[in-house]
Chains A and B, each alone.
Chain A
Amino acid sequence: MSAVSQQSQVVDNIQAARSAPLLVRLGRHFRRYGALWLMVLPTLIFVGLFAYVPMYGLRLAFYNFDPAKGLMGGTFAGMKYFNQFFKSGMFVNILTNTLRISLWTLVMGFIAPIILALLINQIASTKIKSFVQTVTYMPHFISTVVIVSMINIFLAPNTGMIGRLFPNTNLLAKADLFTPIYWITEVWQHMGWNCIIYLAALSSVDLALYEAAKIDGAGRLQLIRYVDIPTILPTVGIMLIMNMGSVLNVGFEKVFLMQNSMNLSASEVISTYTYRIGILGNQFSYSTAIGLFNTVVNFFFLVLANFISKRASDTSIF
């Protein structure tokens, strides 16, 4: 009896709290969570200013840039700058370059860490395992400038360690070698680091699974095929979605640093082109339009991959 009345008392209190005027409720909220709001406030300011204000600035893609007014103002231009981009001779060239470089890097950079993780997971000795990990993570921390200068040194015609093997050819000047050089070095640099996440997933395998499989007569390869691979599959799904969101995002720094006048036909990508015509050429509206096109395509692929993955395997990031 008393429990029931107590309960109805609580319900009444909750209802009273809910029906209190908005200002009173807000006041109560801030009195209780004021400290949390203070902690999150700097982040909100920085993200608002440096991420959302530029997002608002995307309107420039539809307006003629007015130097006096900056991000605001300018006369309406409609789709003018997009049409200019789609009709320009560069469009097909830089779009195929971007896709070629990014797809090669995505596919190879995606497979390599998975294989490496499966291999490292087979090492029984913790010492050797951590040695292999230490070595393979290391290049991840080397700067792009240094990586590219290492590429230049190793491939230098006649003197470089690899360049020497191809007398009288300059590997760095061959346009059709740009993509392979790019993705191979990319895999070299990030393979070890990117496999950590799979190693983490693999370390959670229930050892009883191995035993059960072994009793069923599974050999070592079958253990990988039927225990290890299914274990990392959800992680693989998440990583695939995240990667899909950057189909048109080829890292600016590395492409820019690897570019030279001889390989430009294969190495001009959207981000370097935006830099060239925007920052160096001062065509702000045109450059913003290209950037927006890039972002929208990426976003589309991210949503698409997320949708497919949700349908296929119940794995999604949102």
Chain B
Amino acid sequence: MTSAATNPSPAPKVSSADIPFNPKVHQKKTVSDWIVDIVIWTVLALTVAAIIYPIWFVIIASVSNQTMVNQGKVSILPVGMSFGGYAKVFADSRIWVGYRNTIVYSVLGTALNMLVTIPAAFALSRREFKPRRVILFLLTFTMFFSGGLIPSYLLYKQLGLLDSMWVFILPGAVSVWNLIIARSFFESSIPEDLHDAAQIDGLGYFGYFLKIVLPLSSAILAVLALYYFVGHWNDFFTGLVYIRDNDKLPLQNVLRSILLANQTGMTGQNSGGMDLIQQRDFANQIKYGVIIVSTLPLLVIYPFLQKYFNKGVMIGAVKG
């Protein structure tokens, strides 16, 4: 996209100094612009470093010699490669159980989320559907006013959801926020003409939704599926409050108990013939390993979905 002033049809002679400043077009800068530039780049570089370094550090620390890590000798690259932490992590059956549970909850949960949210968002995007005002109000209201922890807990108890895998899947079936994002997308990005054409061709709402709207909505579907999936994957609260049975705990709760156990191990008494320092080093390496193992799946899919984020959030910004 070029600016309107740079390409008027009978182009008058313009020297480069006359072209107005445009952050998207390269041009001559004044001294004060250079200073502003340097400040901006410095702040940005520091921000990026501050964000990426802790993550990078956990990665290199997980494969380094822990004595070196604790003495502060590991900074940019791993020192004294050692994969003992990972070996220990993968030997721990709790991790595998947690992994399996989280995958099951996340996949089933996300599938139900999409099945429930997307059709509703489509229905509520139809302007001729008069009851939508009331329905939207009732949905939005729940974003700001809720029953809270105890009434929900008692309800789940009565429904038999405590200590059941369904507690991860059913109660969170609809996120009103995500529904509103999808509705705004359908309202603003699917041309109304398509609906008229579909009607002439004799398509009902179901046909129009399945054959025309969905194929045009892959970006928003990807974004919402990602939001839901990450939500399920990172959920710690549900496992903490509603699950007592260790075999049903998801990864995050397993992770927490492993991290806690190793923390108390740090100050606790000697066990298994290792001296305290060795034990502490070992515990630390497990921590790094466990963090990487649990975060890796998200970090792997992240770059592939990144391009959709801006779009998704921008749609969410459209006022409902």
Contacts and interface: CB of A to CB of B under 8 A. Distances in A.
A46 B174 contact: yes
A171 to B, nearest CB: 15
Given A43-B116, A211-B3, A199 B151 contact: no
* Most chain B beta-carbon contacts within 10 A, residue among A53, A121, A193: A53
A291 B170 contact: no
A36 B148 contact: no
B259 A51 contact: no
B314 A200 contact: yes
Nearest to A202: B23
Contact of A70 (B122, B145, B147, B154): B154
B139 A47 contact: yes
A46 B109 CA distance: 13
Interface in B286-319: 287-288, 291, 294-295, 298-299, 302-303, 306, 309-310, 313-314, 316-317, 319
Nearest to A50: B171
Interface residues of B, number: 103
Interface stretch (A2-10, A88-96, A128-136): A128-136
Contacts of A218: 21
Contacts of B1: 207
B295 A143 contact: yes
Contacts of A46: 116, 170-171, 173-174
Interface string B150-193: 11111101100000000000111110100100000000000000
Contact of A275 (B149, B158, B310): B149
B10 interface: no
B54 A71 contact: no
Given A137-B306, A149-B287, A278-B150, A188 B51 contact: yes
Interface string A297-315: 0110010000000000000
B151 A141 contact: no
Contacts of A60: 150-151, 154
Contacts, number: 278
Interface in B229-255: 230, 233-234, 236-237, 240-241, 252-253, 255
A115 to B, nearest CB: 8
B66 to A, nearest CB: 9
A220 B142 contact: no
B30 interface: yes
Contacts of A164: 72
Interface string A111-147: 0000010011111100000001111111101111110
B268 interface: no
B55 interface: yes
B24 interface: yes
A295 B40 contact: no
Given A58-B148, A279-B241, A144 B234 contact: yes
Given A57-B154, A124-B24, 4 more contacts: A43-B116, A142-B55, A278-B149, A284-B150
20 contacts: A33-B205, A35-B206, A43-B174, A44-B135, A46-B171, A50-B155, A52-B142, A56-B151, A57-B150, A60-B151, A71-B151, A119-B40, A137-B309, A138-B299, A139-B51, A143-B294, A145-B294, A159-B284, A215-B20, A288-B148
Interface of A: 33, 35-37, 39-40, 42-44, 46-47, 49-58, 60, 70-71, 116, 119-124, 132-139, 141-146, 149-150, 152-154, 159, 161, 164, 188, 191-193, 196-197, 199-201, 207-208, 210-215, 218-221, 223, 235, 238, 245, 252-253, 256-257, 271, 274-275, 278-279, 284, 287-288, 291-292, 294-295, 298-299, 302, 317-318
